[in-house]
Amino acid sequence: MKLYESPSPNARRVHIFMAEKGIECERIAVDIRAAENLSAEYLAKNPGGRVPMLELEDGTFIGESVAICRYLESLQPESPLFGESGIEAAKVEMWQRRAELNFLLEVAGAFRNITGFFKDRETCVAEWGQVCAERAPKMLSMFDEQLSQTAYLAGDTFSIADITLAVALDFARMVKVVALPELPNIERWYGEVSARSSFGAN
């Protein structure tokens, strides 16, 4: 099994997930600044041109971080990170999607459109970046409210939703395009999840 990757919040999500599961595999660096992910060779493996991507022993390529994590969960189902019962799985999916669509993607939208990081390959609209930068922090109160009632985002158990939100917060702090409010329940929760040994994985 080989993980094709480049430093990014998505790679970090997969690293943390692998560490939680005690799974290791060969890593292959993809230089996205040099657009290696857009080469014909890479696109034949992963037509979206995204990283990370997982190559399985049978030659199957799995793109999309969450799809990679779901495959890893099937290899090592113990301590489930996608929920176990139908209702748990639905709650994890709900909070994972909220963390990703309503926060991580907004931070990424702000970063890409404000800084023009990928302006050699995409049209950037600074005004849209500002819209994303204003929306992202507003969504945090939803997570803070949830974390005033539960230990982790999807309930009593640590899940992929926590990985996504914590990684997104670290990314937001690093790229500095979004003003992050201090929210007490997120702070309590972030202290706990970021202290897990998996969060040091790289």
- Binding footprint of its own copies on the chain (CB under 8 A): 47-48, 56, 60, 62-64, 66-68, 70-71, 73-75, 85-87, 89-91, 93-94, 97-98, 102, 123, 125, 127-128, 131, 134, 142, 145-146
Which residue's structure tokens are 């009632």?
149
Q: What is the DSSP string of 94-141?
A: HHHHIIIIIIIHHHHHHHHHHH-TTTTTS---HHHHHHHHHHHHHHHH
Rounded to a whole number of angstroms, the minimum distance from the CB of residue 48 to its own copies is 6
Q: Which is nearer to its own copies, 10 or 193 (CB)?
A: 10
Q: Give the number of residues written for the chain.
A: 202
- Min CB(172)–its own copies separation in Å: 19
Nearer to its own copies, 64 or 170 (CB): 64
In the bound state with its own copies, the residue whose beta carbon lies nearer, of 89 and 201, is 89
* Count of CA atoms in the C-beta half-sphere (13 A) of 197: 5
* 155 or 199: CB nearest its own copies: 155
CA-CA distances (angstroms) from residue 66 to 17, 144, 161, 193?
10, 23, 10, 19
